[in-house]
Amino acid sequence: MQEKLSNRINNLATSQTLAMAAKARELRAEGKDVIGLSLGEPDFNTPDFIKDAAIQAINDDYNSYTPVDGYVELKDAIITKFKRDNNLTYTYPQIVVSTGAKQSLANVALAMLNPGDEVILPCPYWVSYAEIVKLAEGIPVEVSTTLESNFKMTPEQLEAAITPKTKMLWYSSPCNPSGMVYTKEELRALADVLAKHPDIIIVSDEIYEHINYIGGHASMAEFEDMYDRTVTVNGVAKAFAMTGWRIGYIGAPAWIARACNKLQGQVTSGANCIAQRAVITALEAPVSKISYMVDTFKTRRKLIIDLLNEIEGFETTEPEGAFYVFPNISSYFGKTIKGHTINNATDFSMFLLEEALVATVTGDAFGNPECIRISYAASEAQIEEALKRIKSALSE
């Protein structure tokens, strides 16, 4: 019956981060003590002040369908947040609240892409970008970056990737999976290229904005000449430890926001009522209320880098944001360890799972076949034990 499925779904890859998590669960069910460093999920609970707001919303009988593009009070909080944190001015018709930033991105792709339209994706990119683009019948155009350039796309690379079919550029900064953060100057240099190609729309995914260890988050839409052609994507999953609450949002040119609203109105309707009320409280709070999580990630970042540096064959950058390291492990390619022949990052990641019982994600999932992604959204004890096991598995 498989052949009865649409080409669309048959051509869609399964999320490799979720697949790795499922494989780790399987091994755990067999009684194996797997340490999961594969998921992009804070290991904190949602802060109490946000949970209280949700409980209050239930007791206040927020239970009806919500406006498709979000409660007006949430839009107020988002507009204030954009001004406060990003110096961006948006109005109500420019904001669309969705069921996670993932839906925000899917909305934009489906609203903007015609078959054959090209979308430039600097690699490594977040796992779902390429698949969402393909689902919308667009063509992902990968631009490879290297560890030496700190995984940053240069203006020359961007210029070279642009063709008459280029419709959009998508990137995340801070970046999942590399942790790189574009400075304002670097974004301006990319904007200078884009200024010569006025029809290209930019999707700036800023969901890791607050998880930034070097300070100075910059948004593409801050540049006056980019504002009218940039979709700023954000959400609460990462910084507020609210992955399961499923709220993301965009600030965009009104014509794009209108199209996303139209699409969402036919597919999911407005996002969950209780989660939206809780997010109003989350966004209205000063950022200092969540900085304890960022401080903890920063300590773990140092720990994991120090431990990785002790293992032969791992070459890594110092991530500037998010909670991942993305080491290059290609020096192991062509080797056989404990009976496992390692020819690529997927073999390596599988070797770590089976022999060290540590779940990571292959760089292939992110468009970079020489690296693996290790999440440090885990306790220090777990990180220490995981790296000890990796070191030991590789030393034999």
Ligand X SMILES: Cc1ncc(COP(=O)(O)O)c(C=O)c1O
Q: Smallest distance from the beta carbon of 393 to ligand X, in angstroms?
A: 27
Q: Which is nearer to ligand X, 174 or 357 (CB)?
A: 174
Q: Among residues 230 and 330, whose Cβ is nearest to ligand X?
A: 230
Write down the least CB distance from residue 126 to ligand X, Å.
4
Shortest distance (Å) from residue 172 CB to ligand X? 4
| 100, 121 Cβ separation under 8 angstroms | no
* Least distance (Å) between residue 205 CB and ligand X: 5
Contact 246, 26 (CB under 8 A): no
Q: Is 216 helix (H, G, I), strand (E, B) or coil?
A: coil
| Whole-angstrom distance, CA of residue 219 vs CA of residue 226 | 10
Q: Minimum distance from CB of 160 to ligand X (Å)?
A: 24
Q: Least separation, in Å, of the C-beta of 271 and ligand X?
A: 10
Question: From the CB of 165, what's the least distance to ligand X, in Å?
Answer: 24
Classify residue 315 by its DSSP letter: B
Q: How far is CA 112 from CA 98, 108, 256, 264, in A?
A: 17, 6, 8, 14
In whole angstroms, how large is the CA radius of gyration of the chain?
21
Place of tokens 């490594």: 124
Amino acid identity, position 347: D
Task: Closer to ligand X by CB, 322 or 356: give it.
Answer: 322
Residue 126 vs 297, nearer CB to ligand X: 126
User: Which residues sit opposite 98 in a β-bridge?
Assistant: 248
The residue among 40 and 138 lying less far from ligand X, judged by its C-beta, is: 40
Sequence-distant (6+) residues with CB within 8 A of 266 are none
Q: Which is nearer to ligand X, 174 or 355 (CB)?
A: 174
Cβ proximity to ligand X, 107 vs 349, nearer residue:
107
Residue nearest to ligand X (CB): 100
Place of tokens 């062509």: 334
Token look-up 């002040």 returns: 49
Rounded-to-integer distance, Cα 21 and Cα 376, Å: 15
Nearest CA-CA partner of 57 in 81, 74, 76, 78: 74
Binding residues for ligand X (CB under 6 A) = 40, 100-102, 126, 172, 176, 205, 207, 235, 237, 243, 248
Specify which residues 139 forms β-bridges with: 118
